[in-house]
Structure 1
């Protein structure tokens, strides 16, 4: 019998479970609608705005900016289009990349017309390069991404009393620093941190979180610009030069999107804070003043994407999905370079793990894709089994600090007659989580989330044994609405309601969609399923039951 082993892929910790289990239901049909939508929107942007590797702002005079090249790289990666990725990166290196590896901001009529770099473009490009290196098996791209990220760290970050911050450009090194809240990208920091092991990426993640929190304390909406002084003082601002009235517009709207895709619950919570400050009307103005009053009658896809992200961070999935539809409709009815870019990027960041974030609107367990292609940069789950074990994978749950330290002691699932004490599943000296030797035992993963606390807690047990059916044999009979209760050591009970069941292939286990962090308490109940493979001595599938707090 084997247990659980941690492996890393594309910035996410993945865990593989192997239990000795025998018998069960067949696999469900894969549902790839979410990823198909990502590929569709990304490919549409590429075919419309990319000309031989140059991303053209067709509605803004036909120029090109480093931001657009970075968007093109991310979307070529999302579409799985290696040839287009190479064309975009080749044009970028030939026309925009400076001697210090940073990217000049603007190119027009055959030449660079503004050689200052913009940190959001360099950060997005570095993220795309590292992930493309993994996705396409290209060490050259991965190396270039790490190098670009190092140049950014060296020239466009600053240490302040509130933490390390991302400067908008090398021109902002004097205190108080000009600061663009929407340039911060926690998911990009995580990707580059894992790839390079440079501690400054984690410092940036912590500093960006602290600054964003302070800015939302000062004003419920993030503004396009702000200032951060060396002593840690933060303030909203009207523009990069500090002039004008602060507003929530085409820059600021990126802030909730970037924080909502983070794998850190604290970042998602910041995105969720913004929801209450936004107008709730079906029609949303493209730009608002700092008090959320409309300053234009125009609509824009990114405004709806931002409200979708903030609603997702706040746990309101229905509102978020409604705004994603409005985003798509607006992009279709009023196509623009920036709107179409963010229609595609928000689709990838909020609904798909292809960019190695933790998408808050990825399909629920009852409808999630049955396979996530780890070659496209998302978290992958791998595992091994010995004897009669069968491997399944899941991502190590990431949770906020628990409000209670009470441990789970008993599991009750009345609909299938399960009443069982719970044992802890820990890691052995070999790095694997030790599976219970008793076939009748039910375990909870002690390295993850405490059942009843924020995040996806994990419970696993055998479906049967060499002598017959076992504790989770009837797990496939559960239906939406059935209840699950976990009694804890302090006498309290965490109650859950089943929302769905999913049978997934072990070889393509959808790690991020099932075990990604969530803003509320949830439960994942795992056992083996599918056909028995006599050649390997394994079941080919896993059954995952998802339940949410009652």
Structure 2
């Protein structure tokens, strides 16, 4: 038993070490290798979560220091969403991405619990307060997480990204703070997801417009796809509740395809699938959703880019926490 345990720990550590060797810069910046090596708060938050999971405090501190020093917006307490090393001003776009803010705050809270560090929790509490102040609104009778503080509330409608509904993080924030807003966000986000079932597949889109009467429509400016954003919706649902019936629409869609011949995305309105299949992190999310957990691991394929590798490790993390 001890030999098997040590072997599992070694494999887990190897997966994390591989991830760091590919995507972590010496200064604590995670690079998006499929997107000109830019960095996002999303990537910083993902890596911070993984560092806590793998008990790597030194890396966690490096990630957090770079994020806090380079991306923190002192005007609102949130984080500038993108860092472009090729630009004269790498943080020229001052808008935030609410999922990145949430991920960073969640990682800090988990770090505070794991390493008994009150300073991490104080930082997380401050970010959570800023998220509520700048990213959360009441609209069409619901409490809504906007994708960012600027540009998504069009008055007559709001633009939403359902993959920013980070249910397990909301749950953790509610447990810590006892603020009703987090529980309301969970309930209202699930209600909105139920209304975001488009086409014959009944799947959500990457980007959705919610009108003032609460009705949903494809957001203009983005392809009407269940794709690289929305793939995270079933991941976060399963992470919140592995037995959730809200996974059924995704299971019903994917069961029509053999595992290794599942299209990477689908145009939900035309019912046209991608011309290539899932692999890496996308396939890991499918496996978790379908209950095909024997495939789930953190051994990263040699060709994994940043996003695929992140999804794979996060899926493995979600699965381990559900066992």
Same fold (TM over 0.5): yes
Deviations 1:371-418 (A, max 9, x none): xxxxxxxxxxxxxxxxxxxxxxxxxxxxxxxxxxxxxxxxxxxxxxxx
- 1:352 aligned onto 2:320: yes
Question: Contact conserved, 1:180 with 1:226, CA < 8 A, in 2?
Answer: yes
Aligned positions of 1:407-426 closer than 5 A: none
Partner residue of 1:48? Answer: 22
Match of 1:153 in 2: 132
Among candidates 127, 132, 136, match of residue 115 of structure 2: 136
Report what 1:178 is aligned to: 159
Q: Using the alignment, how far apart are the partners of 2:183 and 2:15 within structure 1?
A: 31
Aligned to 1:289: 267
How many Å apart are 1:321 and its aligned residue?
3.3
Q: How far apart are the structure 2 equivalents of 1:277 and 1:94?
A: 43
The equivalent of 1:211 in structure 2 is 192
More strand by share: 1
Distance 2:271 2:294 in 1: 22
Shift, 1:129, TM fit = 0.5
SS state at 2:81 partner: strand
**When the two structures are superposed, what TM-score results if normalisation uses the length of structure 1?**
0.53
Tell me, yes or no, if structure 1 residue 73 matches structure 2 residue 48: yes
Matches within 5 A, 1:221-370: 221-235=203-217, 237=218, 239=219, 242-263=220-241, 268-278=244-254, 279-281=256-258, 282-290=260-268, 293-297=272-276, 299-311=278-290, 317=291, 319-322=292-295, 324=296, 331-349=300-318, 351-353=319-321, 359=322, 362=323
| Counterparts in 2 of 1:201 and 1:61: CA distance versus 1, 3 Å | same
| SS of equivalent residue, structure 2 residue 91 | strand
In 2, are the aligned partners of 1:43 and 1:79 still within 8 Å (CA)?
no
How far did residue 160 of structure 1 move?
2.8
TM-score, length of structure 2 as denominator length: 0.88
- SS of the aligned residue for 1:227 comes to strand
Aligned to 1:88: 63
Give matches, 1:20-59, under 5 Å. 32=5, 38-51=12-25, 52-59=27-34
**Superposition RMSD in Å:** 2.4
Structure 1 residues without counterparts, runs of 5 or longer: 1-27, 312-316, 354-358, 363-550
Answer yes or no: is the 8 Å Cα contact 2:282–2:312 preserved in 1: no
Residue 188 of structure 1: how far off its partner (Å): 0.3
Identify the residue that residue 79 of structure 2 maps to in structure 1.
103
- Between the aligned partners of 1:346 and 1:67, the Cα distance in structure 2 is 15
Instruction: Supply the distance in 2 between the matched residues of 1:217 and 1:263 (Cα, whole angstroms).
Output: 23
Deviation of 1:296 after TM superposition, in Å, equals 2.9
List gaps (5 residues or longer) in structure 2.
none
How far apart in 1 are the matches of 2:185 and 2:14?
A: 33
Give how far 1:34 is off: 6.7
Is 2:100 the partner of 1:121? Answer: yes
CA distance in 1, matches of 2:21, 2:301: 15
Q: CA deviation at 1:111?
A: 2.6
Partner of 2:147: 168
Report the structure number with the largest CA radius of gyration: 1
